[in-house]
Amino acid sequence: MTKIFVMYTGGTIGMITDYETGVLKPFTFEQIIENVPELRRMDYELTIHSFESIIDSSDMTPEIYATLAELIRDNYDNHDGFVILHGSDTMAFTASALSFMLENLSKPVIFTGSQLPISAVRTDAKENFITALEIASAKVDGRSRVPEVCIYFENKLFRGNRTFKYNSAKFEAFRSPNYPVLVEAGVHIKYNDAAVLKSDGAKLKVHTNLSNAIAVLKLYPGISAQIIDAVLNSDAQAIIMETFGAGNTTTAKWFLDKLKNAIAGGKIILDISQCKVGSVEMGRYQTSSELKKMGVMNGYDMTFEAAVTKLMYLLGRNYPKDRLLRRLSTSLRGELTKN
């Protein structure tokens, strides 16, 4: 019998309406099972771990990421796959973080949740949960068919570190515009095997030391020197700079000088685009050529969520700076595509 380890962290999927106040409040995993009687007909042995204090995804932290990674490590050998029930708002951050923390993963770790509570008549929770379990159990020649960290939502399975939440009002809450869908679930479940990361069978390594010494500099026309200074002169070791288009910034000398001084002072600056589709192409335009010369790092087509959690992971490894910079612009878990 296929053994799946299910972690219930919280989120809308496990909420029920308090009819006195109209407010959504959490209920137990046992009540989730009651609302999905189909689970009793599935040939899976489910091990359930429910967090004692249910966590709204807005309250997720690197410490909770570490707890999830440790639970996977401790139950890895005795289970065929893992399903994590999680609030959708920061699901892409948690999935991205775990993709870096779980090195040499050879079993599925699938995040799912819902836009409506599982107790709602029109809920999307049942299909999301049931299909996530089915994909987590899928094997070919005795090996897991999707051995990576993924997000399953509204009939599609995405690579976790390629995904972001784009809609809070539709069941189709997530998108992955820079990488193909891994699985589409209709009448039949269709696997895009060519897009799935392959496992080499190496032993799982779990990394739980993360650093949040990261700042974000989102550029906009007319941004002031004072705002730039507040970010560049912060205690952050690394700064994610969200630029325009293919990685461009203002050409103002004062701005470029501030970036140069920050890099000379030891700051890591990672260039990712504010555009959701496409990639940073450093050197395509004059402005990004200047950034490349001064040592700004190319984030290519990484999502913001992947950029944040990849830096958390790399800073937490305490690499020498030259090695950290090489790995920052290298695809470690399929999170970026180089031009």
Report the alpha-carbon distance of residue 174 to residue 88 in Å, rounded.
9
The H-assigned helical ranges of 102-252 are: 125-137, 225-232
Secondary structure of 302-321 in HEC code, one letter for each residue: CCHHHHHHHHHHHHHCCCCH
138-160 burial, b at 16+ Cβ within 10 Å, e below that, comes to: beeeeebbbbbbbbbbbbbbbbb
Q: Which of 9, 12, 303, 309 is catalytic?
A: 12
Tokens of 243: 């630029």
- φ/ψ of 217, rounded to 5, equals -115, 100
Is 9 among the residues known to form the active site? no
End-to-end Cα distance, the chain: 44
Strand, coil or helix: 240: strand
> What's the residue count for the chain?
339
Q: Which residues contact 75 (CB under 8 A, 6 or more apart)?
A: 5, 47, 82
Is-contact 273 291, C-beta < 8 A? no
**What does the DSSP 8-state code read for residue 219?**
-
| Catalytic residue set | 12
